Chains A and B, each alone.
Chain A
Amino acid sequence: MRWAQRCCWRNALLRGPVILRRRRLLYALALAQTIASAPFPGSYKERFHDPDPICPAVYRPVFLPTMNSQFLKSKTFWSCVAVLAAVALVGAFVLMWRPAIAPIERPTVFDAGQLQRGARVVEAGDCAVCHTRPGGEYLAGGLPLVTPFGTLYSTNITPDAQTGIGEWSLPAFDRAMRQGIARDGHFLYPAFPYVHYRRMSAADIADAYAYLMSGPAVHAPAKQNQMNFPMNIRPLVSFWNLLFLHGEPLTPMAERSEAWNRGRYLVDGPGHCAGCHSPLNLIGAEKSSGYLQGGSVDGWNAPALVGMGQRANPWSREQLVGYLRAEVVDGHGTPAGPMRPVSLSLARLPAGEAEAIAEYLLSLENQHSVTETTATTQPANPADQTSGALLFSSACAGCHAPAAPMREIDGRPGLQGTSALQAASSRNFLKTVLEGVPAIPGSPGPVMPPFAASLDNAQLGALAAYLRQQARPDQPWADLSSTIDALRQETK
């Protein structure tokens, strides 16, 4: 399954004080330069060639004075080099070294109430979505996460002493959740969404810890990651953290309702929604300006979560709650792809949690007025329309035609109003047809078979063009065939 393969790389909170951080870095560099250049001859002004005597190094860093060969041989020079090297070493040490936290004997006595709360936190945090591989033991890791920087494998978070977190104390677990440092002091990759988890309450983290430690220990050694150079050097994550790791545990806003605050906590904390639903920058951190404005994951579009109530096909509170709980919602459909396991997790939580999330999300207004229109409006191809109609009747109609048996029996949705067909991009529609909605052993549907092997590219294109024509006759999808080609390549 590929739905979760990239999901968590995206989980890097980057918003608010980033500019401040960058400036702080600049200050630090300038300061280092000032210290390093202090023993040089010449006046302050000469050294910096700067007309502003107040704080030239900060605002306009300049480079070291021209060096002649005599100076290069001098003691002063070499002592400068030594000081610089020492500063760099100390800096690197402070930045990249984290102590191990002493191993403990796995706790054996737990409070029943805490375990119950912890199970909910683990569900809300979608831990099992990444930490359980298909066909694998619960939380024993091994799911590949394909990132632009290489492939990672999720680790075993069962309480096995050798291969899991059995020797982790609560402070070690808390440090991992908030700072991305493993018990033995190594840096975890930000695919693990510690930038979001650090916003959780201490009580929730303690409850999750108790729940995880109470589970069955599974011996499952971590699979070797295949990260590309230089990201295979873990200490380099410290630089990433320097730029992007910030944010305190969320505190309720007094002027907002309890449900709204709960929703914000779930969305920004354990749920780490922005991990997929915000755009990412070049080094895999969420863009500060794009909070919940839509991203992409595993070839799917993760739609914007702002302005959901003000769209062409707006979401009502009831629709959003149902959707978040994996139901088939009239007018929007049901979650597929990477959102499916997330919604199934939410469905296992009390209904109030999804209601709180809906309350919060529907309060977010779209500041940037993202237009939901496609650029081109080329007329629909009549041959595609005919063959699309035939394909629909032979492959889809049993579940999705008006008065189809499966609509009557089990509530399959009509397709016209679904978010996938209404969206500006054809990706989510095509991905749903290619991959379907998989069956879960022992659970009722909805189930949709994958059509990747049943339909060829031309058929898929004709079907998409036909259904889009039904749903949005004014805006046919452009580039259908190239999108289909790209999706086929991605799933190979």
Chain B
Amino acid sequence: MSQITLNVNGAAQALELEPDMPLLYALRNHLNLNGAKYGCGLGQCGACTVIVNDQPVFACLTPCAGLEGKKIRTVESLGSAEKPGPLQAAFIEKQAAQCGYCIAGMLMRAQSLLEREPHPDEQTIREHMAGNLCRCGTHLRIIEAIKQAAGHNGSLT
């Protein structure tokens, strides 16, 4: 066990962790941030996606030890049920969730794209989102929601 300080959603959190513990377990079990989900645990589905600095990463494959000093953001940083952020609002308006298990990861991956490129075209969105899977098959609505958010941030597409 070692002392590791993680900066999560803007707050420094000092934790006693095994250094090779994947970030997902620290978030869910130690910080009670249950937005990011355990899907496959193999970096293949994207349900655990969070943002580290400005990059989307799979929290299930990211050891905590290397994350000191980096800014970690989870879906909880985007807004709340009462006050959803613009991307979350777009997901709600387009009814992009069915069972909802993949959505926290989808939101974080999409968020990282919109921060880098506020008005991506559909092809860019599709390529960027290809790493995250939805078993219910709501990909088309998810893409619609991201397109709407891309317009929401500026000119409407």
- Which residues of A line the B interface, CB within 8 A? 134-137, 387, 390-391, 393-395, 398-399, 405-406, 438-441, 445, 447-449, 451-456, 458-459
CB–CB B41/A398 < 8 A: yes
Interface centre among A390, A399, A454 (most CB of B within 10 A): A454
Instruction: Find the A residue at minimum CB distance from B53.
Output: A453
Interface centre among B52, B58, B66 (most CB of A within 10 A): B66
Instruction: Find the A residue at minimum CB distance from B68.
Output: A456
Partner of A447, one of B121, B127, B131: B131
Q: B123 within 8 Å of A by Cβ?
A: yes
CB–CB A395/B63 < 8 A: yes
Min CB distance A302 to B, Å, is 25
Residues of B near A398 (CB, < 8 A) are 40-43, 61
Taken together as a complex, chains A and B put the C-alpha atoms of A441 and B128 apart, in Å, by 9
- Report the stretch among B16-24, B77-85, B88-96, B97-105 that lies at the interface: B16-24
Q: Mark B49-77, 1 if CB is under 8 A from A, else 0.
A: 00011011110011101100000000000
CB–CB A394/B55 < 8 A: no
Partner of A394, one of B20, B121, B123, B129: B20
Min CB distance B13 to A, Å, is 18
- Once A398-B43, A459-B63 are accepted as A-B contacts, the answer to whether A453 and B52 lie under 8 Å apart by CB is yes
Min CB distance B76 to A, Å, is 19
What are 29 A-B interface contacts by the 8 Å CB criterion?
A: A134-B127, A135-B121, A136-B123, A390-B19, A390-B63, A391-B20, A394-B20, A394-B22, A395-B61, A398-B41, A405-B42, A406-B42, A438-B131, A439-B130, A439-B131, A440-B130, A441-B130, A447-B44, A449-B57, A449-B131, A452-B55, A453-B53, A453-B55, A453-B56, A454-B52, A454-B66, A455-B66, A459-B63, A459-B65
Residues of A near B63 (CB, < 8 A) are 390-391, 394-395, 454-455, 459
CB–CB A449/B43 < 8 A: yes
A contact patch SS: loop
Residues of B near A405 (CB, < 8 A) are 42
Residues of A near B86 (CB, < 8 A) are none
Taken together as a complex, chains A and B put the C-alpha atoms of A447 and B58 apart, in Å, by 13
Q: B3 within 8 Å of A by Cβ?
A: no
Interface centre among B21, B22, B61 (most CB of A within 10 A): B61
Residues of A near B126 (CB, < 8 A) are 441
Residues of B near A447 (CB, < 8 A) are 44, 131
CB–CB A458/B66 < 8 A: yes
CB–CB A135/B20 < 8 A: no
Residues of B near A137 (CB, < 8 A) are 123
Query: Contacts A441-B127, A454-B62 given; 20 further ones with Cβ under 8 A?
Result: A135-B127, A387-B19, A390-B19, A391-B20, A394-B21, A395-B63, A398-B42, A398-B43, A399-B42, A399-B43, A438-B130, A439-B130, A439-B131, A449-B43, A449-B57, A449-B58, A453-B52, A453-B56, A453-B62, A456-B66
Min CB distance A397 to B, Å, is 9
> Which residues in window 104-144 of B have CB below 8 A to A?
120-121, 123-124, 126-127, 129-131
Q: Sorted from nearest, which 5 A-B pairs have the closest CB atoms?
A: A135-B124, A453-B55, A456-B66, A439-B130, A398-B42
CB–CB A390/B131 < 8 A: no
Query: Considering only CB atoms and an 8 Å cut-off, how many residues of chain B contact the other chain?
Result: 29
Instruction: Find the A residue at minimum CB distance from B21.
Output: A394
CB–CB B20/A393 < 8 A: yes
Min CB distance B113 to A, Å, is 10
Taken together as a complex, chains A and B put the C-alpha atoms of A439 and B52 apart, in Å, by 20
- Once A399-B43, A449-B61, A459-B63 are accepted as A-B contacts, the answer to whether A390 and B130 lie under 8 Å apart by CB is no
Residues of B near A395 (CB, < 8 A) are 22, 61-63
Residues of B near A394 (CB, < 8 A) are 20-22, 61, 63
Residues of B near A453 (CB, < 8 A) are 52-53, 55-57, 62
Taken together as a complex, chains A and B put the C-alpha atoms of A440 and B40 apart, in Å, by 19
Taken together as a complex, chains A and B put the C-alpha atoms of A391 and B61 apart, in Å, by 9
Q: Mark B18-49, 1 if CB is under 8 A from A, else 0.
A: 01111000000000000000001111100000
Interface centre among A135, A136, A137, A391 (most CB of B within 10 A): A135
Min CB distance A129 to B, Å, is 15
Residues of B near A441 (CB, < 8 A) are 126-127, 129-130
Min CB distance A426 to B, Å, is 19
Residues of B near A136 (CB, < 8 A) are 123
CB–CB A406/B120 < 8 A: no
Residues of A near B61 (CB, < 8 A) are 394-395, 398, 449, 451, 454
Taken together as a complex, chains A and B put the C-alpha atoms of A137 and B58 apart, in Å, by 29
Taken together as a complex, chains A and B put the C-alpha atoms of A440 and B128 apart, in Å, by 9
Residues of A near B129 (CB, < 8 A) are 441
Taken together as a complex, chains A and B put the C-alpha atoms of A395 and B66 apart, in Å, by 12
Residues of A near B57 (CB, < 8 A) are 449, 453-454
Taken together as a complex, chains A and B put the C-alpha atoms of A398 and B52 apart, in Å, by 22
Residues of A near B56 (CB, < 8 A) are 453
CB–CB A454/B44 < 8 A: no
Taken together as a complex, chains A and B put the C-alpha atoms of A255 and B121 apart, in Å, by 53
Min CB distance B99 to A, Å, is 22
Taken together as a complex, chains A and B put the C-alpha atoms of A449 and B44 apart, in Å, by 8
Taken together as a complex, chains A and B put the C-alpha atoms of A378 and B53 apart, in Å, by 35
CB–CB A454/B131 < 8 A: no
Residues of B near A134 (CB, < 8 A) are 124, 127
Instruction: Find the A residue at minimum CB distance from B23.
Output: A454
Instruction: Find the A residue at minimum CB distance from B117.
Output: A135
Residues of B near A135 (CB, < 8 A) are 120-121, 123-124, 127
Residues of B near A393 (CB, < 8 A) are 20
